């Protein structure tokens, strides 16, 4: 039975680190089973890579995307195995939206793994390494960021691409245009404007070729109506129609991630507890900034996961 005040969220790129989920795997053997399934689907030992590999290797987007999806799906399987309460709604940040659809029963795990690996390759090939950049901007009004990006773009591209929480927005585009925007945003009072260690300018118009290639991949993939409603990044609304979900997954590659709005939609539907299912605590941290009364928790660690299961069944 679902808990009407519970939402699950799934992280996107940036939460990966060597050694992640090692404690969880010791406590819950099902974690390694899920990684074995993913490794079989993609023909490399994913668990060995995230435990013993190099950070540079897991930061390559075609590796990062399947790794993070597998980590989140593994923790979701643990949650179900421990008889955790079912959420009333789900969402994922960028890549995490694909993970949410897997956990909601809309997309088969093996299909999704191949899809996000291809998505990573398409996103990387759309803009050669070194041409694009992303930067996090703290402390400037959302609309002011949008306007400054438009002012400095010129013949290049720079856009606000992740609306992560009020006062925290990521911009992306051509490296030179991003640099120009950083200068102007600092003049406009940005507390911080820092380049991000990513390999391509995600969620910009420069990703339209990647969207076209993803559309071809999606033609051969079955999508079902999610058993648990999923809120989508593009418009921060729930979509049940599989054909429209495919369209949103394509559009998402070159559209801003409206994360603040996604969380506000959850709150409007009665969410009081938000659980981050995956490595790290990025989204649970953002949740409190978006809506202070929200309770937010991350379940990467076994003791936290068990405690949350117990609290919700009490």
Report the CATH number at residue 176.
3.30.70.250
pLDDT at position 128: 86
Q: Are both 27 and 162 inside the same structural domain?
A: no
Q: Are both 117 and 188 inside the same structural domain?
A: no
Q: Which residues are catalytic?
A: 94, 203
pTM for the complete prediction? Answer: 0.96
**pLDDT band of 19, cuts 50, 70, 90:** very high
Q: Are both 189 and 227 inside the same structural domain?
A: no
Give the model confidence (pLDDT) of 22-38 as tens digits: 999 999 999 999 999 99
Asked whether the predicted pLDDT for residue 238 surpasses 70, the reply is yes
Give the model confidence (pLDDT) of 261-310 as tens digits: 999 999 999 999 999 999 999 999 999 999 999 999 999 999 999 999 99
Contact between 74 and 30 (Cβ < 8 Å): yes
pLDDT at position 1: 54
| Position with higher pLDDT, 244 vs 57 | 244
Asked whether the predicted pLDDT for residue 203 surpasses 60, the reply is yes
Q: What's the average model confidence in pLDDT over 208-224?
A: 96
Strands of the sheet with 168-174, listed across from one edge: 158-165, 168-174, 132-138, 192-195
pLDDT at position 129: 81
Share of the chain above pLDDT 90, in %: 92
Domain membership of residue 178 as a residue range: 132-198
Q: Count the domains in the chain.
A: 2
């Amino acid at each position: 039975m679902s808990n009407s005040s519970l939402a699950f969220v799934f992280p996107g790129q940036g939460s990966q680190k060597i050694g992640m989920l090692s404690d969880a795997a010791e406590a819950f053997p099902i974690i390694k089973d899920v990684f074995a399934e993913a490794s079989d689907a993609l023909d490399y030992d994913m668990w060995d890579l995230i435990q013993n590999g190099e950070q540079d290797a897991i930061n390559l987007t075609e590796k990062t995307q399947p790794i993070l999806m597998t980590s989140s799906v593994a923790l979701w399987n643990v949650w179900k195995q421990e008889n955790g309460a079912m959420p009333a709604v789900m969402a994922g940040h960028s890549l995490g939206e694909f993970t949410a659809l897997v956990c909601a029963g809309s997309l088969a795990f093996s299909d999704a793994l191949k899809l996000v690996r291809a998505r990573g390759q398409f996103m990387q090939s759309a803009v050669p390494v070194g041409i694009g950049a992303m930067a996090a901007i703290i402390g400037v009004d959302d609309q002011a960021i949008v306007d400054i990006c438009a002012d400095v773009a010129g013949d290049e591209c720079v856009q606000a691409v992740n609306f992560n929480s009020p006062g925290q927005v990521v911009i992306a585009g051509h490296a030179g245009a991003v640099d120009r925007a950083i200068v102007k945003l600092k003049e406009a009072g940005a507390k911080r404007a820092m380049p991000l260690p990513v390999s391509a300018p995600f969620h910009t118009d420069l990703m339209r070729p990647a969207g076209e290639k993803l559309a071809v991949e999606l033609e051969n993939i079955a999508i079902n109506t999610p058993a648990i409603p999923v809120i989508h990044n593009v418009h921060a609304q729930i979509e049940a129609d599989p054909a429209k979900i495919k369209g949103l997954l394509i559009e998402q590659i070159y559209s801003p991630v409206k994360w603040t709005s996604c969380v506000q939609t959850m709150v409007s539907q009665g969410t009081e507890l938000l659980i981050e299912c995956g490595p790290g605590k990025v989204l649970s941290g953002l949740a409190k900034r978006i809506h202070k009364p929200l309770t937010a928790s991350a379940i990467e660690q076994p003791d936290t996961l068990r405690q949350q299961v117990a609290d919700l069944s009490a």
